[in-house]
Amino acid sequence: MNIGIYIYDDAEVLDFSGPFEVFSTAKRLANNDWQVSLIAQTNGPVNARGGFSVNPHYSFADCPELDVFIVVGGDHTHELEKSTVIEWLTHTASTTKRVASVCTGAFLLAKTGLLCKKNVTTHWQDQSDLAAMFKDLTVIANKRWVTDGKFTTSGGISAGIDMSLALVAELINKEHALLTAKQMEYAWL
């Protein structure tokens, strides 16, 4: 199974490193064939929030077909203006079995049009902006994550870890998700 996490300049570090850790730990504990990868527009280093430099595993050009696709948040404003990014997100999310977002990554998924008439959530501070910008969404408050069809969106930062554990429970089982959380010394559920 290929699990891809989309990153970009000024992405929130825990938005991608939290889910990466969850899926990597779940893989190790299950001894399965999951491949967990970071994907960026190009192969060059990405400068996430706080100057955290990270090298993606893949670019748009060489990204394998994904089974699970996660779009992270951060300072997403510039990403919304990049037609190449939105086109790639649209294609990738359309062809992937499970799609998720962390925090303001919901704005990027909403821009694709694929969340039209769906229940979603994002960071509490951005919920009103998301609802105002994308009037065809139902933005849910006070939920760590929300699933509607193949799409799961989460609140900010640490909520992405909760959502990723929920996805592990769906992909393997709840017991494995609890084992993963225990291994990470993370209080879940």
Q: What is the pLDDT of residues 82-139, one digit of tens each?
A: 999 999 999 999 999 999 999 999 999 999 999 999 999 999 999 999 999 999 999 9
> How confident is residue 46, by pLDDT bands cut at 50, 70 and 90?
very high
In the 8-state DSSP scheme, what is residue 74?
B
Classify 144 as helix, strand or coil. coil
Measure the CA–CA gap between 173 and 168, rounded to whole angstroms: 7
Classify 98 as helix, strand or coil. strand
Q: What is the pLDDT of residues 147-185, one digit of tens each?
A: 999 999 999 999 999 999 999 999 999 999 999 999 999
Tell me what the mean pLDDT of segment 75-87 comes to: 97
pTM of the complete model: 0.97
Radius of gyration (C-alpha) of the chain in whole angstroms: 15
